[in-house]
Chains A and B, each alone.
Chain A
Amino acid sequence: GDSVTQMEGPVTLSEEAFLTINCTYTATGYPSLFWYVQYPGEGLQLLLKATKADDKGSNKGFEATYRKETTSFHLEKGSVQVSDSAVYFCALSEGHTGFQKLVFGTGTRLLVSP
């Protein structure tokens, strides 16, 4: 079945450092791709999405580009803040039954220190 692979964490950075969290996927069709973020004690929140190849999703300074040729959707941010500390999940939507469902990666914890 479809699957998502993320880099293992934790990723530890100093404030204002550049962030990359790698995500690759395996899918039989043409899924949409998502990044969700989970802050401590809170539910999953959509960070950004891309629906087709070469689309770039962006939000709150985070970006990710849907790369069909490398089956990747890496998350980047030019300058992280302490408030970005959270767990980040890459996900794809599949809909073999005709209804969309999300398949998640294992998550990558980001720790940003002042």
Chain B
Amino acid sequence: EAGVAQSPRYKIIEKRQSVAFWCNPISGHATLYWYQQILGQGPKLLIQFQNNGVVDDSQLPKDRFSAERLKGVDSTLKIQPAKLEDSAVYLCASTRQGPISGANVLTFGAGSRLTVL
């Protein structure tokens, strides 16, 4: 099966500019996640979707970050305006599961690396 697709792989912008990242999960995967991985740190969950609904966005900086998954398939994460501390790799992951039914494995995309100057 095809993996999780993300684009762009790399993006360099100046602070206060905007940027958008796109993710296409594995076909049939109902749950989609966006993680932020700052250099030297572990990934941190930003937002979790179940189909086209938000399950958890408690760690999403909503004053500048937004995400949508309008048709319950692909998703877009936007940052506007960007700050220097937003420099990170943005990882998208998906899994088939619905409500908890065991240790379902998340499949990750290769990530989108953002550099804010």
User: Measuring CB to CB, which residues of chain A are less than 8 angstroms from any residue of chain B?
Assistant: 4, 32, 34, 36, 41-46, 49, 51, 89, 91, 93, 95, 97-107
Contact = CB atoms under 8 A, between A and B. Distances in A.
Given A43-B91, A46-B107, A102-B106, 19 more contacts: A32-B102, A41-B110, A43-B110, A43-B111, A44-B93, A45-B108, A46-B106, A89-B42, A89-B43, A93-B103, A95-B100, A97-B55, A98-B100, A99-B98, A99-B99, A100-B31, A101-B48, A106-B42, A107-B42
A34 B95 CA distance: 15
Contacts of B100: 95, 98-100
Contacts of B4: 43
A98 B99 contact: yes
Interface class of chain B by DSSP: loop
A100 B56 contact: no
Contacts of A104: 42-44
B45 A51 contact: no
Contacts of B33: 101-102
Interface string B43-80: 11100101000011000000000000000000000000
Interface in B25-53: 31, 33, 40-45, 48, 50
Interface residues of B, number: 30
Given A89-B42, A101-B45, A104-B42, A46 B105 contact: yes
Q: Which 4 A-B pairs have the closest CB atoms?
A: A104-B42, A32-B103, A43-B108, A44-B108
A70 to B, nearest CB: 20
30 contacts: A4-B42, A32-B102, A32-B103, A34-B103, A34-B105, A36-B108, A43-B108, A43-B111, A44-B43, A44-B91, A46-B105, A46-B107, A49-B103, A49-B105, A51-B102, A93-B103, A97-B55, A97-B56, A98-B100, A99-B48, A99-B55, A99-B98, A101-B45, A102-B33, A102-B45, A102-B106, A104-B43, A106-B40, A106-B41, A106-B42
Nearest to B58: A97
A89 B40 CA distance: 11
Contacts of A34: 103, 105
B78 to A, nearest CB: 21
